[in-house]
Amino acid sequence: MTKTIWILNQYASHLETRHLELARSFSEQGYKVAVITSSFHHGKREYMYDEKMKFVERMPGVTYVYLHSGPPYYTNGGKRILNMIGFCGMFRRLKKVIAEKTGVPSYVIASSAPPFVWEAGYSCAKKFKAKFIVEFRDIWPLSLVDVQGVNPHHPLVTLFSIIEKRAYKRADAIVSTMPHAWKHVMEVADVPREKIHWMANGINVAEAEACLASDMALPADLDEYLTNHWCGVYVGSIAKCECIDYMLNAIAQIKDPDVYFAIIGEGKEKESLQKLASDLGLDRVKFFDAIDKSLIPKVLQKAQFSIAALVDIPIYRYGLSMNKLNDYLASGIPTIFACSVDSVVKQAGHFAIPTGDKERFAEAVLKVKGLTEKEREELKAKAQAVISSDYDYPQIGRKYLQMMEQLGQG
């Protein structure tokens, strides 16, 4: 009899990659998979479907279940919290109907944020006598305090702390996308180390290679720019946390007239950063519109190197799991990453430098420009070996499923 895995992630309709790829991997290994998510698209802030509950077969063996959670919200305020609660309430009420359509789960993966899904996931696992896996892609409430500056004594932080500690204790296994998150778990809850597992955010290497082989074309202006210049690229959100202002100030230190940069993406900081680039006289930096994720491998194939940076905040001591770094390194091009904590860039032997050091960043760019072809090939081999070993989704999926199977069956 085919066993079923449920993945509960309110934002899977917005954050497509991780759980779609894991579901694909689980399905290919003989399981039925249901990904239960909200039909309210967090990125677009609109509903994808009008139905109370919508079942969509995304691929053989993988069904997405969209719940029409409410109320709709347009800012990260009270209505978003109510939507989180509403989503979990709908899931609790409809879990029997979902089981009739997709199969009774043997394993329930409840993935936060938000932490409310852990309460709903545990209730479901208990009902169906399934194994309960707590997953977190972001550490709430610690992220609210460290990143968003919420008062650590705020009632919501207190509530989330209670839910977090209880979830870790109830879980049959705990999974995080951050390599050192086990330290945090053991700081807040008395659980054994062997219960905690690292399953990174990854990349599907075969899909990236298929994109390169496809006839999809880059936008003409971007293609021409990358073709005609020795160019470094940033691809991603144009947001304050991505430290693009720092990178622009670092680029201003580079006097080599042959080094160009492409900043590709959208975000509310874009206009102010374009003005900063103009004020700094950076005529070798050009901003481009966001592109479809499927085109990123083609951008990186044409680029000479890639860049990224993060502010140095305490929560990063538990490690990073940034999709863009996986994309960068899978392509094999040299990657410069400014952040003071350990990262896959450092693991791959590329150019990891301290946060905020403009001179070191500029020096790294010039070092990349001076690399021999042999040195570039060595960096490519190191990066792709690390990605294939720890960050390729089929590999992560096999590792994840092996961990679950070792728990036994509920």
Residue 43: pLDDT band with limits 50, 70, 90: confident
pLDDT of residue 148: 80
Q: Does 408 have pLDDT greater than 90?
A: no
What would the pLDDT profile of 320-376 be if each residue is shown by its tens digit? 888 899 999 999 999 999 998 889 999 999 999 998 899 999 999 999 999 999 999
Residue 340's contacts (CB-CB under 8 Å, 6 or more residues apart) are 312, 316, 354, 355
Whether 309 contacts 242, CB under 8 Å: yes
pLDDT of residue 13: 81
Measured between alpha carbons, how far is 395 from 303 in angstroms, rounded to an integer?
Answer: 27
The DSSP annotation for 219-242 comes to -HHHHHHHHHSEEEEEES---GGG
What would the pLDDT profile of 307-321 be if each residue is shown by its tens digit? 999 988 888 889 888
In the numeric block, the tokens 């001591």 are attached to: 317
Check the CA dihedral 324-329-331-333 and report its sign: positive
pLDDT of residue 58: 92
Q: Does 180 have pLDDT greater than 60?
A: yes
What would the pLDDT profile of 124-161 be if each residue is shown by its tens digit? 999 999 999 999 998 989 888 887 888 999 998 999 99
pLDDT of residue 8: 97
Measured between alpha carbons, how far is 215 from 203 in angstroms, rounded to an integer?
Answer: 21
Measured between alpha carbons, how far is 183 from 220 in angstroms, rounded to an integer?
Answer: 47
Alpha helices in 151-219 (DSSP H): 155-170, 181-188, 205-213
Q: Using H for helix, E for strand and C for coil, what is the string for 372-397?
A: CHHHHHHHHHHHHHHHHHHHEHHHHH
pLDDT (mean) for 32-56? 93
Q: Is the peptide bond before 113 cis (omega within 30 degrees of 0)?
A: yes
Q: What percent of the chain has pLDDT over 70?
A: 99
Whether 338 contacts 365, CB under 8 Å: no
Task: Please tell me the CATH superfamily of domain 4-202+392-406, with its number.
Answer: Glycogen Phosphorylase B; (3.40.50.2000)
pLDDT of residue 75: 86
Q: Using H for helix, E for strand and C for coil, what is the string for 309-364?
A: ECCCCHHHHHCCCCHHHHHHHHHCCCEEEECCCCCHHHHCCCEEECCCCHHHHHHH
In the numeric block, the tokens 């919290």 are attached to: 81
Q: Does 409 have pLDDT greater than 70?
A: no
Residue 262: pLDDT band with limits 50, 70, 90: very high
- Region(s) of the chain under CATH 3.40.50.2000: 4-202+392-406, 205-391
Strand-pair partners of 111? 135
Residue 386: pLDDT band with limits 50, 70, 90: very high
Q: Is the peptide bond before 141 cis (omega within 30 degrees of 0)?
A: yes
Measured between alpha carbons, how far is 138 from 164 in angstroms, rounded to an integer?
Answer: 12
pLDDT of residue 88: 95
pLDDT of residue 56: 95
Task: Please tell me the CATH superfamily of domain 205-391, with its number.
Answer: Glycogen Phosphorylase B; (3.40.50.2000)
**Whole-number average pLDDT of the chain:** 94
pLDDT of residue 220: 96
pLDDT of residue 322: 87
The DSSP annotation for 117-164 comes to HHHHHHHHHHHHT-EEEEEESS-TTHHHHHTT---TT-HHHHHHHHHH
Residue 394: pLDDT band with limits 50, 70, 90: very high
Residue 15: pLDDT band with limits 50, 70, 90: low
Higher pLDDT, 408 or 205: 205
Q: Does 114 have pLDDT greater than 90?
A: no
